[in-house]
Amino acid sequence: MAQKDVGNKIPIYKLKTTDEVMKYYDEWGDEDKYNKDMVDWNYTGPKETVEILNKYQKNKDILIFDAGCGTGLVGIELKKYGFENFHGADLSQKLLDTIPKNLYQKLEKVDLNKKIQSDESFYDAVMCVGTFTFGHVKPNALDEFVRITKPGGLICFTINEGIYEEYGFDKKIEYLKDDKWEEVEFFKSDYIASKDVNAWLGLYKVK
């Protein structure tokens, strides 16, 4: 089956370097344009992933790390389901500055392609939505997510279908299955239905 070409569906997918992506996001964050586009595009990633987390995680007091939190769309969904304790991290300070006050307990500017400044087994769960995409965060971030998540904790993420094999996410996920995590859910989600862009949605339990 031929792979669908999603690389030209959205302008940011054409960018290759971190600097290019950062510049684009800084401009995208102006005047709430990013959030408006997400509504216009029917971007369902945050809603879908939080629904899956909620399906398996009944304790609402857990501490969650929202990696690549952007404008806080995942945090808003977490709040709807009664989750209260979550930290957010993103590479764009411009997007972080647009997040509603008091939504997250802690926000920081972080490059997820580098080591995360967190103790091992610190978080009960990690969410990463819309961040594994063209020119963004690479598969090695999954190793870090495992490191900072408690044994038995959940890691929930989306991977844009256009980079799943090209960036090596398929191999990384299989490698981690050896002794780091076990698969709970893995399926193709709607993601950005209006643009005909799908993503793989995964939920994994840390061993």
Average pLDDT over residues 124-137: 92
The confidence band for 30, taking pLDDT boundaries of 50, 70 and 90, is: confident
Q: Please tell me whether residue 143 adopts helix, strand or coil conformation.
A: helix
Q: What is the pLDDT of residue 1?
A: 41
* pLDDT of residue 121 exceeding 70: yes
Is residue 132 within 8 Å of residue 169, measured between CB atoms? yes
* pLDDT of residue 163 exceeding 80: yes
CATH 3.40.640.10 fits 11-206, yes or no: no
As a whole number, the mean pLDDT across the chain is 90
Write out pLDDT tens, residues 77-87. 999 999 999 99
Q: Phi/psi zone of residue 189: left (φ > 0), alpha (ψ -120 to 50 degrees), beta?
A: beta
Which pair of structure tokens corresponds to residue 100?
């509603």
Residue indicated by tokens 């792979």: 3
Average pLDDT over residues 37-47: 81
Can you give the pTM of this predicted structure? 0.88
User: How far apart are alpha carbons 156 and 154 in whole angstroms?
Assistant: 6
CA-angle at 103, arms to 87 and 198, nearest 5°? 70
Q: What is the pLDDT of residue 14?
A: 75
The confidence band for 10, taking pLDDT boundaries of 50, 70 and 90, is: low
The domain ranges of the chain are 11-206
User: How far apart are alpha carbons 173 and 159 in whole angstroms?
Assistant: 11
DSSP 4: P
User: How far apart are alpha carbons 205 and 207 in whole angstroms?
Assistant: 6
Beta strands in 71-196 (DSSP E): 85-90, 106-109, 123-132, 149-160, 181-192
Is residue 39 within 8 Å of residue 108, measured between CB atoms? no
Write out pLDDT tens, residues 167-183. 999 999 999 999 999 99
Average pLDDT over residues 156-161: 96
